A and B are shown apart, each in its own frame.
Chain A
Amino acid sequence: MTLLEAVYINAGSWVLFLFGLAFPIYLIFGYMGLTGFKDLTRYEEAKTFYYRLNPLTKIAFTIVLTFVVAVTAWSADLALGLIILVSYLSLRRGFRKLLLGSALAFASVVGLAWTFSTATPYTLIIYAFTRQCLTVAPPTMSPAWLHYFTPLWTWASYFQYWGFQPVFTLQGLLYGLQVSTRTGAVLLAALILVMTSTPSAILRSLGKLKLPIVLIFALVVGLRTVPRIFDSLDTAVKVQFMRGYGSRANKATRVFYLFGGVLSSIVPAMTFLFRGAQNTAISADTRAFRAYKDRTFLTPFTFSREDYILFAVVAALVVFAVVSNIYGFGRAIPYSAVGSSCGATSTA
């Protein structure tokens, strides 16, 4: 290997490595920031389609979507994720939420796909694509190995200590995408429930399902607390910056100082929010929470025209899953391969 080749492989490997690890971190903490997280996890009032839906309909949509993306190919999962993302435009401050949702989903999908793409053993990928069980993979780049893989990049050798396979392959990339794209679509759908339903509407809906009221109460406290955690962390980090933390940071390193600030703010934010628990408890108790076994409802529990439209979409999703599988767009790679080795009978 010439010096030039060595420089090329090392530089290229580090660029790819940083893309897979640092780029999601940059998107999350550099682009979105803690206020972005807060915006994506809290309710803001509006009157458009999603806001008029019963929370139960949104939960049903998410459940069916989870099922659909589990049985379809990564390309179909990606398409569904993109459609849901575009529908964010109908939300209050829709364009901002579209950008934030894109950043979160992209970071989540890229981060997860990268891990699986680079570190999944060759024997597992061979099994996933061909159902052939090999105890040991053929020597890398040998004709037998090339029969199974399309090489995209050869890592600098020391990347294997990081857990990487010697060569980054197209099959590894597809395997990573299959595992990760399903999480992106479900994540985006799940956030719609959080952004477009008030905690009390969720409480009312789940109450109708006869779930124990105390569990629903704890759940709703949790739902309300998630955006407040980001708010508290944001305040704590800003205070640290005001006191001089990260004063030497430049544009490129600021995001890492921000990340460090978040980590060191967790215990103070936790203590702050737990201390405020007393006020929430008093507030609930003074409204006679748990005074009676069952709750009464001021607002009628109904399904509107919008709910029936979404139910039609849910039905269409099921049909889509069936048709996709018939026409060969079913899940090509079994999740059963994840974390296991071949040799046993698979039912996936």
Chain B
Amino acid sequence: MGFNDIAGSLNQVGQIPWEYVVGYFVIALVVAFVLGKKTGGLSSFTTLDFVYIGIGVAFAVVWQWFIGAFLGGFLPTSVSAYIGIGFIGGQLITMMVVAALVRKVGVGMTSFVVYSFLSDIFHYGFGGEPMYFIYEGLTYGLFLDLTIALTGGNIFGVKSSIKASAEATATSGGGSSGKLLALMIIEGAIIGFLFAFPDPIIYSAFFGPFINASKVNWQTIYRTLTTNVISGIPAGALGGVIANRVSRAIGG
């Protein structure tokens, strides 16, 4: 074993060449840096934003390790292969809620780094770090931040919904329009789709062998990717609606 429980294996059969992975993370870092420069990075965050991140991450940890972990046991493996209850409730939907509340570029990466840290305190015990900070922050976290950047901070149509609600209240009209609902669903589904990739591709085909010296089986990877996409898209779509509703309820 190498440093902090990291085997450092780079030549497993089927493992993605390290050059590709380093290339991805270099590009991800550049993207994160450019986005940070453009939007002010963490200095544009208020104290309230960091409180939202802390609370959201706590929910993700409680769901993942104390509720979802036991709930998942009731599902047959043929179903749990499609529905990772811990992941969908914790890392996907809860983090979408946090992103909808903060709506600033950097919230995704920050939330996932803090999530890794808190998970280490409550469950993992820091083995394999700092690889998980890098992996989670620059995959899942970056995907959320890219969505925020591409939507101009109007992720899941939260800003539009708040504006529409204010106008509806002024004219005694209804709530969210069908167009806004479609926006929440589509953006959520895209995030669900993107979240399906890191675990099978980047973790199983690179970090698994690198950290645990695990072997690479591309049959398993293709199967996991397929099941993740199938469950991630509807879960993400649902998460988009939940994130919008929770954000509005709190006064986002």
Closest to A336 in B: B214
Given contacts A215-B114, A218-B57, A218-B114, contact A335 B214 (CB under 8 A): yes
Interface flag for B70 (CB, 8 Å): yes
Any chain B CB within 8 A of the CB of A296? no
Question: Whose C-beta in chain A lies nearest to the C-beta of B42?
Answer: A214
Contact B59 A229 (CB under 8 A): yes
Which of B2-10, B164-172, B188-196, B230-238 forms contacts with chain A?
B2-10
Residue of B nearest to A185 (CB): B125
Within 8 A of B (CB), among A333-348: 334-348
Comparing B20-28, B32-40, B61-69, B155-163, the segment that makes contact with chain A is B61-69
Considering the complex, which residues of chain B in the window 94-143 have a beta carbon less than 8 Å from any beta carbon of chain A?
Answer: 97, 101, 110, 113-114, 117-118, 120-127
CA distance A348 to B13 in the complex (A): 13
Nearest CB of B to A155, in Å: 13
Chain B minimum-CB-distance residue to A229: B62
A344 in contact with B57 (CB, 8 Å): no
User: Within 8 Å of chain B (Cβ to Cβ): is A119?
Assistant: yes
Contact A62 B78 (CB under 8 A): no
**Interface pair A278/B58, CB less than 8 Å apart:** no
Residue of A nearest to B60 (CB): A222
Nearest A-chain residue to B129, judged by Cβ: A63
Interface size class of A (residues with CB under 8 A): 35 or more
| 0 or 1 for each of B51-88: is its CB under 8 Å from A? (1 = yes) | 11111111101110011011101101110100000000
Q: Is the CB of B213 within 8 A of A190?
A: no
On A, residues with C-beta under 8 Å from B are: 20-21, 24-25, 28, 37, 41, 59, 62-63, 65-67, 70-71, 107-108, 111, 114-115, 119, 161-163, 183, 186-187, 189-191, 193-194, 212, 214-215, 217-226, 229-230, 259, 262-263, 266-267, 270-271, 273-275, 277-278, 280-281, 284-285, 289-290, 334-348
> In the complex, what residues of B have CB within 8 A of residue A66's CB?
5, 124-127
Given contacts A28-B66, A63-B125, 12 further A-B contacts (CB under 8 A): A20-B73, A41-B122, A214-B50, A215-B113, A218-B53, A219-B54, A222-B55, A225-B55, A229-B62, A270-B97, A340-B215, A345-B13
Q: In the complex, what's the smallest C-beta–C-beta distance from B7 to chain A, in angstroms?
A: 7
B70 touches A28 (CB 8 A): yes
Does B151 count as interface, using CB distance less than 8 angstroms?
no
Residues of B within 8 A of A163 (CB): 76-78, 80
Pairwise interchain contact B121-A190, C-beta atoms closer than 8 A:
yes
**B216 CB to nearest A CB, Å:** 7
Per-residue contact bits, chain B 214-252, to A (CB 8 Å; 1 contact, 0 not): 111101100000000000000000000010001001110
Q: In the bound complex, do residue A220 and residue B127 qualify as a contact, i.e. CB atoms below 8 Å apart?
A: no
B69, B216, B220: the one contacting A344 at CB < 8 Å is: B216
Given contacts A21-B74, A70-B127, A262-B67, A274 and B55 within 8 Å (CB-CB): yes
Contact present for A63 and B54 (CB under 8 Å): no
Decide yes or no: A187 and B97 within 8 Å by CB, A229-B62, A230-B62, A344-B12 being known contacts: no
Partner of A217, one of B54, B61, B63, B66: B54
| Closest A residue to B50 using CB positions | A218
**Smallest Cβ distance from B100 to chain A, in angstroms?**
11
| Residues in chain A near residue B214, CB distance under 8 A | 335-340, 348
CB <8 Å contact, B114 and A339: no
